Chain A
Amino acid sequence: MSKTIQEIQQEIVDEFAMFEDWMQRYEYMIELGKALPLIDEKYKIDENLIKGCQSKVWVHAELEDEKLVFTADSDAIITKGIVAILIRAFSNHHPSAIIEADTKFIDEIGLKEHLSPTRANGLVSMIKQLKMYAVAYQTQLN
């Protein structure tokens, strides 16, 4: 049985709890960013760009066996790390689970500062976009 979104989020929270300072946290995020699987180049188009980010973020969503799979990329590595965390938490789940999932874990891993809606990296916009995809695909499944 695959893990629930909440279980994955808890895993991420536990991983981040091991770090002693911001520098280790950011180094880990940068690593995650570098490890983010590549998005198909054909999806790096303006329609897939998330608005509200100082760096460019492309997100693509596809339905596979009633599960929504996200792929993404960014031209900035920290942003890529944040996207990687989001994708790990939300990708490969049923759209209804994605719609219902909360995002408190972002706060718990010490990235609260990125949650402000005015923050230039647009983490809020990214979460909104993932949920919008889920809503769109959910209506397809109904």
Chain B
Amino acid sequence: MSIATNNIAFNVDEIRKDFPILNREVNGYPLVYFDNAATSQTPKQVMYAIVDYYSNYNANIHRGVHSLSQEATDKYEGARKKIQQHFNAGKSHEIIFTSGTTHGINLVASGFSSILKEGDEILVSALEHHSNIVPWQMLCEKTGAKLKVIPMNEQGELIYESFEELLSEKTKMVFLNHVSNALGTINPIKKIIDRAHEKGAAVLIDGAQAAPHIKADVQALDVDFYVVSAHKMCGPTGVGVLYGKEEWLNKLPPYQGGGEMIATVSFEKTTYAGLPHKFEAGTPNICGGIAFGAAIDYMNSIGFEAISRYEEELLDYATLKLQEIEGMKLYGTSREKTAVISFNIEGLHPYDIGTLVDKMGVAVRTGHHCAQPIMDFYKIPGTVRASFSFYNTKEEIDRFIDAVIKAKSMLS
């Protein structure tokens, strides 16, 4: 199967050859991996970057005078530059390496504890992952600021008018995800960022679910903070980045103390290093950062336009097929969404469906997807979530549909 995009043929059969794991069997069936929103699979190119690092230039960075250390430093900083270019950040020191999205959010939340005061307000969306709710609750407890929630509608879209009503001069920050992990809804972040700025509020966008599908331009968005994880976009686990506007990063205090983040130390006073090192205490995940750079290269070599066009095709195909199943209820039916389908079948528990399709080699996620407020909204214990990536195929969707139908007949 191939479709032409940007004059380059998008050939899924060729792409699949880059992912060795797609050849394995699970429970006696060829694997169908539809849990991409939890973590994406890793192409050989990224694995090679990891092997290359440990085989050829494993060394600590930024402090050695020896050649290996210099090579490792160059590659690590090279990865930072790649990531900067990918997200179109103005400066490479606006890219802070983190252990992932959750770390990035906590870093910002912790920094804001010295800025917020009682009476200030924070707006979060009703579509958030737990990791984007809890740090702000903790921050509010600490500072006396108030947390307010932007509600969503039945389609799983944020109600923009409610956001307008909640936004005021008291609002100091607005936090929401670019794409909802449970439902796949793409939020109108540009509109929200602009409006929040008019009131003087800062905006942090959780880009974890958007990054594998959409190439965000942080300057065009004029966003203050944008956080992502490498493992959702073909990179390894345990690494991610926080983009922050230079002026904001300078304003926030360091998050952790340790090596790398200091300029001078005496027992009387320590002066902090400049950006980005101020926020990168200790030896970082050097290999992970370099592999993240390789993952970005890999995804760009395929092209995000081609990726999102192909994934949309998969989404449309799967949505149509699923809707033919009796008792099917889809959650999150926003017109703007990524290749994620959250569903239940009337009278059946998502856990039962997930267990049985797994026995047929199909990996989906079941449960509340760390977004309990969304499940409470729909008054359900959870959903089955199938999330697609550019290396999936329509044939796999057929296998998935057959497995769901089989599970349904076993359970009813």
Q: Which residues of A contact B (CB under 8 A)?
A: 22-23, 26-27, 30, 54-56, 75-79, 120-121
Contacts and interface: CB of A to CB of B under 8 A. Distances in A.
B410 A54 contact: no
Most buried by A among B348, B356, B367, B411: B411
Given A54-B366, A55-B381, A77 B359 contact: no
A55 B351 contact: yes
Interface of B: 27, 348-349, 351-352, 355-356, 359, 366-367, 381-382, 410-411
Contacts of A78: 351-352, 355-356
A68 to B, nearest CB: 28
Given A30-B411, A55-B351, A77-B411, A22 B27 contact: yes
A121 B358 CA distance: 14
B381 A75 contact: yes
A55 B366 CA distance: 10
B79 to A, nearest CB: 32
Contacts of A23: 359, 410
B9 to A, nearest CB: 40
Contacts, number: 40
Top-3 shortest CB links A-B: A76-B349, A76-B351, A55-B351
A77 B350 CA distance: 10
Contact of B382 (A54, A77, A79): A54
11 contacts: A22-B27, A23-B410, A26-B359, A26-B410, A27-B410, A54-B351, A54-B382, A55-B351, A76-B349, A76-B351, A79-B349
A106 to B, nearest CB: 16
B351 A79 contact: yes
A26 B356 contact: yes
B83 to A, nearest CB: 32
A79 B352 CA distance: 8
B309 to A, nearest CB: 35
Contacts of B367: 54, 120
Contact of B349 (A22, A26, A27, A55): A55
B352 A76 contact: yes
Nearest to B407: A26
A75 B359 CA distance: 20
Contacts of A121: 351, 355
